[in-house]
Chains A and B, each alone.
Chain A
Amino acid sequence: MSNTPSHEHNHSHSHSHDHNNPDDPLYNSHGEHPYQPDSEDTPYEHHQVMAEAVGELLIEKGVITADELRGMIELIDSKSPAEGTRVIARAWTDPEFKARVMVNVNDAAEELGIDPGTIPIRAVENTDSVHNVIVCTLCSCYPRLLIGVPPDWYKSRSYRSRVVHEPRTVLKEFGTEISLETEVCVHDSTADLRYMVIPKRPDGTEGMNEDELAALVTRDSMIGVTTL
């Protein structure tokens, strides 16, 4: 990924703490550095120490509890593309459910016992005439509660910059070639509206039940960088 250091996140590196960097939370424009940690001498990464310290401070101050923090990390770990795949499989097999998905993904997901969060998610359906791809050019907006945390490349400069002006070339980098007969439609997500692709149901799956169909659906197909 172009904008993310490819190193492991457990050692220090040169940009880890610049005493003159105004972006650094410990930077003080008055030149005072009350208890500035001297991170050049430590094997720990500056931001990793910061995440630990901020969490501990919030717990000590009673802003959050240790149990809430543990519980939230478990919740994040529990989210995966699996919930999205259930929505897709149901939409493929139940036309009335699919109609509701196209109107409001959040409400439809709740019918399946999935908490999709409060930010609206819009479904975009792949057909023979249109192939949809999602991106967030400004940051990383993504239907996280339906399909888990976004992959590194989704947040990368290359993907965010290029997929909106040369989507077919970018899709080829994922091994996906879309027929020139099919329009490629790129949807730029925002903090207030996210998208999820409904992939085309593969041929030859007519006899499959919902669980079998859900197992065919991949994360990348719900982003639109691959087909099934």
Chain B
Amino acid sequence: MVHRSHHDMGGLDAGPVDLDEHAHVHWEKRTDAIMRLVSDKNRQIITVDELRRGIEQIGPNVYDEMSYYERWITSVTNNLLEKGTITVDELGRKMNDVEARWQADGATKA
């Protein structure tokens, strides 16, 4: 019996298809754009296969809780950390800066 990973869901049972669609918000497009840029032929920092591996490594429960682009930014960030393009320290500092700035602005970001 071949082990089936949780992203490999073809043929399993599931509920009805929810036909609701949401318009992609800015941070989702930003995530997509970052991936396309770091994977382009000039940079080649992350391949599509590495993006997928990063998504498939997300634990089964978290995978289902996360939205699509939450999985993407998680994988892109993990790949950039693994390759040393950014460090966890830089990321933590920058995320604190961004949150502080947004809170100071009082703006709703989406």
A residues in contact (CB < 8 Å) with B: 1-6, 8-10, 15, 18, 21-26, 28, 33-37, 39, 42-45, 47-58, 61, 63-64, 68-69, 72-73, 75-77, 135, 137-140, 149, 151-153, 155-162, 164-165, 170, 173-174, 188, 191
Contacts and interface: CB of A to CB of B under 8 A. Distances in A.
B10 A161 contact: yes
A73 B29 contact: yes
Contact of A61 (B67, B73, B85, B103): B85
B78 to A, nearest CB: 5
A140 B91 CA distance: 28
Contacts of B16: 158, 173
B67 A55 contact: no
What bracket does the count of chain B residues touching chain A fall in? Answer: 35 or more
24 contacts: A9-B28, A9-B67, A10-B25, A10-B110, A15-B62, A21-B59, A25-B91, A26-B88, A35-B92, A42-B103, A50-B73, A54-B76, A69-B33, A72-B37, A75-B33, A76-B32, A138-B10, A138-B52, A152-B18, A152-B20, A152-B21, A155-B68, A162-B12, A162-B14
In terms of DSSP, what is the predominant structure of the interface of chain B?
A: helix
A91 B14 CA distance: 36
A170 B109 CA distance: 36
A51 B31 CA distance: 6
B65 to A, nearest CB: 5
Contacts of B28: 9, 51
Interface of B: 7-22, 24-34, 36-38, 43, 45, 48-49, 52, 55, 57-59, 62-70, 73-74, 76-78, 80-81, 85-86, 88-99, 102-103, 108-110
B33 A1 contact: no
Contacts of A24: 74
Nearest to B66: A15
A28 B60 CA distance: 20
Nearest to A64: B37
A136 to B, nearest CB: 9
B70 A23 contact: no
